[in-house]
Structure 1
Amino acid sequence: MKILFSVGNAFVPIHQEMVMKMEQLGAKVECLTFDASMNPDKVKEKIRDADIYVLAVTKVNREVLDCAHSLKLIIKLGTGVDNIDVNYAVEKGIVVSNAPGENAWSVAELVIGYMIALSRKLSLLDSRTKKGAWKHSLGLELSGKTLGILGFGNIGKKIAQITHVFRMNKIAFSNHKDEKMAERLGVSFVTMDQLFSESDYLVISTSLNQTNYHLIDASVFKKMKANAFLINISRGAIIDEVALFDALQTNQIGGAALDVREIEPPDSVPNLNNLMVTPHIGGSTIESIQRIANLTLENIRRFSQGESILHVVNR
């Protein structure tokens, strides 16, 4: 059993421990650094005789899969599989698994941090104060505001659960409505237009697919409140970034926080006082990474023993 392991940045601190445990399961492991795994030619070269491919954000397209002559299992170190050609993997008889919900709490906590930071202008005031300015600024409370959640999956539900203590009004739009959980968490399902126009904080927590590319565009910003905040912890391509940056520069909306960009790493980051940007750290906590690592090792054990794989996305 040979494993190719593209080590995402978040897994660098524990990847040696993971490799040791993979080897204890009888595997021969070859690791690619983050930079190497971003080189398609390097991936195609190394994947030729791999039985299992463990990866985070590496692109696994048709060309890569055509080079994988022995591949039987792809394990995604996270939830979203938009970087993997899942349909073609089905044609090739390759099982694709992921780790749904394992980083949901970490991402949800980051959203709360963003909401408070945007409301109180923490990033701007921190920068000003360190430069010697001592300028007072009024902020906003979360209490009584309307939280809009686009995508009511594991992360969306965790966000709704945490924000209960802030006494917020909670609305959501989702293609898959979990009415029972929504009622339990005090969330009302609304139309997409209502979500855009009524939210004081609009959180994007839906997976990227062919139907929602650049869903959040100039027309959406015209519908949003002038003091509304946009938070994206999903995938960068769901937002038309050119339209967003224009909306921020012209104060069409109050502010935005982006943990994801359409191109990562991005070519540039606009220097806007009402914009916060982080380098895709939503699920990057010690606890969530360990949970994903444990699930990954369990699936490798199951593969080695001929048992059913957990969380197959292309069954």
Structure 2
Amino acid sequence: MNIYHDENMPFAKEFFGDLGTLYPFAGRELNAEMVENADVLLVRSITKVNESLLANNKSLQFVGTATIGVDHIDQTYLKSRDVPFTSAPGCNAISVAEYVLSALVVMSERYLIDLFSLKVGIVGAGNTGTRLSEKLSALGIEYVMCDPVLAESPNDTRNFVSLDEALACDVISLHVPLTQDGEHPTYHLLNETKLKNLTSEQILINACRGEVIDNKALLQLKQNGMQTKLILDVWEGEPNLLHPLIEYAEIASAHIAGYSLEGKARGTEMLYQALCKQLNIPANKALKDLLPSASINSVELKQEFDGILLNQLVKMVYDVRRDDGIFRQQINTQGFDHIRKTYPARREFSAVTVSMNNQANEGVPHRLGFSK
């Protein structure tokens, strides 16, 4: 079996090596000739899987994307060929939520903002938005959620607000899929009109898809004096982003919010499990057996948990300023894809065990995701 996989999928050899011959590829360089003999195709978000890519292939048995989003996959075409397809919903949701929390910690320190007094508008209440809401709840930070699709579902009993209400919050965090059709399209969800209504006191975070914000309108508004604080992990037109917009972002990064080792590897594991099911063979490998120990894997806290400890704990595991620095240093010389390909190891909160001395708030770190 010929298994073609994105070279940036961690533990691909460990998970799939026994199932066939592995052929790693650079995700944005894949073409029809390269996958002509593929039986299994495993991609990430930068590879578009469509009729053009698969025109020469007659042997494909399985396609998987190790990502939450599926807008790069022509599922209609795959169905027409009876090719099974699977994605990895929720694989990096924790990673993205921790990116947002790290950004908020940095911003609260930079501008002397009381993090616990903020109200957060979460736009998109799927896996990622839900994980973020759980971390905010652990800290007692107020939030509202906007998701018109889930609001119409009888199985979702959460309270949802309108987009305008979410956009009126102190922090706006975007976690929607990219859609251009249907009743609730998200392409340019924040257009010039919506962006004009934002204030200098607000923080706007985009860690989902660049096209959810009209980047040209955003740049023009910033050039005309818009003071809203921007945290941008995703950009319209990646990898050919609107470079002048970078200087207006408080924190800028190369679509790596979900790039924790656990987040990326979870996607690999989910595809492995799906392929094993497709092949009707047992899935006898697990991510927990492959993850290395974190460089700092345990911490003992000897004082009441507060904002200072939160700042120290979060930045000890992941300080988003590192990625902002890498991005600004390399984007003009190395390029967007190089930054993603050479992304340094990053762990999630769960890689660190936190113990406390029976303080009143000792459960907060564990509700945030730190291990007991």
TM normalised by structure 2 equals 0.68
- Distance apart, 1:269 and its partner CA: 4.9
Match of 1:290 among 254, 265, 272: 265
Match of 1:209 among 179, 185, 202: 179
- Distance apart, 1:289 and its partner CA: 2.3
Q: Is 1:23 equivalent to 2:17 in the alignment?
A: yes
2:145 is paired with a residue whose SS is: strand
Aligned to 2:70: 81
Q: 1:111 to 1:151 in 2, by over 3 A?
A: same
1:46 is paired with a residue whose SS is: coil
* Structure 2: tracts of 5 or more residues without a match: 283-372
1:108 is paired with a residue whose SS is: helix
The percentage of counterpart residues that share the same residue type is: 25
CA distance in 1, matches of 2:96, 2:119: 20
Aligned to 1:119: 108
Does the Cα contact within 8 Å between 1:257 and 1:275 map onto a contact in 2?
A: yes
Q: Is 1:192 equivalent to 2:174 in the alignment?
A: no
CA distance in 2, matches of 1:21, 1:274: 38
109-118 vs 240-249, which moves further: 240-249
CA distance in 2, matches of 1:297, 1:271: 37
1:49-128 counterparts in 2 under 5 A? 49-56=37-44, 57-121=46-110
Q: 1:144 to 1:182 in 2, by over 3 A?
A: farther
Match of 1:299 among 274, 284, 290: 274
Q: Is 1:148 equivalent to 2:117 in the alignment?
A: no
Does the Cα contact within 8 Å between 1:259 and 1:277 map onto a contact in 2?
A: yes
- The letter of the residue matching 2:133 is A
TM normalised by structure 1 equals 0.79
- Distance apart, 1:117 and its partner CA: 2.2
Aligned to 2:206: 232
1:64 is paired with a residue whose SS is: coil
Q: 1:43 to 1:20 in 2, by over 3 A?
A: farther
Does the Cα contact within 8 Å between 2:173 and 2:206 map onto a contact in 1?
A: yes
Q: CA RMSD in A?
A: 2.4
Aligned to 2:31: 43
- How many pairs were matched up? 275
- Distance apart, 1:306 and its partner CA: 7.0
- The letter of the residue matching 2:87 is N
CA distance in 2, matches of 1:277, 1:261: 10
Report which of the two has the higher share of helix: 1
- Distance apart, 1:253 and its partner CA: 4.1
274-283 vs 152-161, which moves further: 274-283
CA distance in 2, matches of 1:217, 1:241: 9
- The letter of the residue matching 1:298 is Q
Does the Cα contact within 8 Å between 2:219 and 2:244 map onto a contact in 1?
A: no
CA distance in 1, matches of 2:55, 2:139: 51
Map Cα deviations across residues 91-120 of structure 1 (whole Å, 9 max, x no partner). 221221011112111110001112222333
